[in-house]
Amino acid sequence: MRTVRAGIIGIGGYGTNHVKAMLDLVKEGLLEVVAFAEVRAEAYAEEYRQLVTCGAAHYTDYERMLNEHPEMDFVVIATPIAAHKPMCIRAMQLGFHVLVEKPPAVTVQDVDEIIAAGRANRRLCQVNFQHTSSRAFRELLQQLRAGAIGRLVDVTGVGMWRRGRSYYDRTRWAGKLILDGVYVLDGTFNNPLAHLLNNCLLAAGSGDASRGEHRSVQAELYHVNEIEGDDVSCIRVNAANGVVVHFYAMLSHDKDETPYLTVRGTEGEASWNYENEWTIRSRDGERSFSYGPENLLRHMYLNLMQAIGGDGGEPLFSPIEASRGFILVSNGAYESSRIVRAIPAPFVEERDVNGSAFRLLPGLSLVMKDVADKRQLYSEYGLPWAVLTLPYRMEGYSRFELPR
């Protein structure tokens, strides 16, 4: 593979991980970092130093960077969510392929604009849903396509993490639905556990992005922290191919547990988790594989670089087109829930851990996995703070506006 040239917009926050991934590829002679754009370079002194040392030019204006470096093959966009769409579109209009952080956009109309820009300019856009690149998940999809558990019936994803006050204080947009007049929709399924929801939806279609349309979405969105978005959620998706997806997430658990998904078929059951493991139980017996830690971000870079270099191999792990189904579910969740409801204080436990303040929901922690096993929404399970919502029909859905 020839050396590929790239630039990056945003080197703070999760962007620090991108800087490390890029510099590792530089050391291997696979990548040249030509330039980087960051308006607060002084806040990320080490990343700035490393990039400048390897020969990258610094800019505060990303458009100037793009205009002055047409030799770059692709651009990494690791900025706050609301900036993804305009930056993706501008980069592709100027002739660059793109690797953008998840989610690529907040609304279905925005993701449609990005898709249209990619097609019009014949540019690739890889979305950093990096868990799509794990060996275990790729092999799980192959097994599902091969009919290892028969016709798929349903997919269930469970994510139980703990996030405290400092998590929401780290940036202006954390926990916001709208910031400075722009949609953010920051919450369980749009940000920290977005990878899990995305993989659930991919599993429901056995990895086929063309099955991204959904008949209906029913969701219950709640918060225990003083935020606009959700930190507790459950979603039911009726996919067009008949598979039902259930997603359960909480950021108010007493610890971080490994997120996982299970897939039921007419002839067995399969599972996958963030530890890079998959298991299949069928009439032929049980098979389990564990691949251990992998550098998933590196996989995403190499996958895009191979596609750009014309070296063949696999298609993009997470092309922008495949993200449309995820955005549809996200938008449908807000259409169904209508509002993000506050869970009453008597059900919430305040806890200080090593000087950090947390709000926990012990009642849900105790029954979360049972709720998921029963494939019920929180209200259907009878949790006293939960409110039943209605399914929202998604056929032909093309524009999101936050319900009022």
Report d(CA 394, CA 404) in Å as an integer. Answer: 18
With respect to residue 400, please indicate whether it lies within any of the assigned structural domains.
Answer: no
Would you state the pLDDT for residue 211? 55
With respect to residue 304, please indicate whether it lies within any of the assigned structural domains.
Answer: no
Give me the residues paired with residue 53 across strands.
Answer: none
With respect to residue 255, please indicate whether it lies within any of the assigned structural domains.
Answer: yes
With respect to residue 123, please indicate whether it lies within any of the assigned structural domains.
Answer: yes
With respect to residue 203, please indicate whether it lies within any of the assigned structural domains.
Answer: yes
Q: What is the mean pLDDT of residues 177-183?
A: 93
With respect to residue 22, please indicate whether it lies within any of the assigned structural domains.
Answer: yes
Same domain, 91 and 43: yes
CATH number, residue 277: 3.30.360.10
Last residue of some domain: 130, 152, 178?
A: 130
Domains in the chain, number: 2
Same domain, 112 and 179: no
- Give 105-133 pLDDT, tens digit per residue: 999 999 999 999 999 999 999 999 999 99
Same domain, 97 and 164: no
Same domain, 98 and 246: no
Q: Are 355 and 226 in contact (CB under 8 A)?
A: no
- Give 38-88 pLDDT, tens digit per residue: 999 999 999 999 999 999 999 999 999 999 999 999 999 999 988 999 999
Own/partner contacts of 238-241, CB < 8 Å, gap of 24 or more, are 238/214, 238/391, 239/201, 239/204, 239/205, 239/211, 239/213, 239/214, 239/215, 240/211, 240/213, 240/214, 240/215, 241/152, 241/204, 241/205, 241/211
Last residue of some domain: 130, 161, 183?
A: 130
Last residue of some domain: 70, 105, 130?
A: 130
Q: Which domain holds residue 283?
A: 135-295+321-393
Same domain, 349 and 205: yes
CATH number, residue 24: 3.40.50.720
With respect to residue 399, please indicate whether it lies within any of the assigned structural domains.
Answer: no
Q: What is the largest CA-CA distance in the chain?
A: 60
Same domain, 237 and 280: yes
With respect to residue 312, please indicate whether it lies within any of the assigned structural domains.
Answer: no
| pTM of the predicted structure, to 2 decimals | 0.96
φ, ψ at 28 (rounded to 5°):
-85, -5
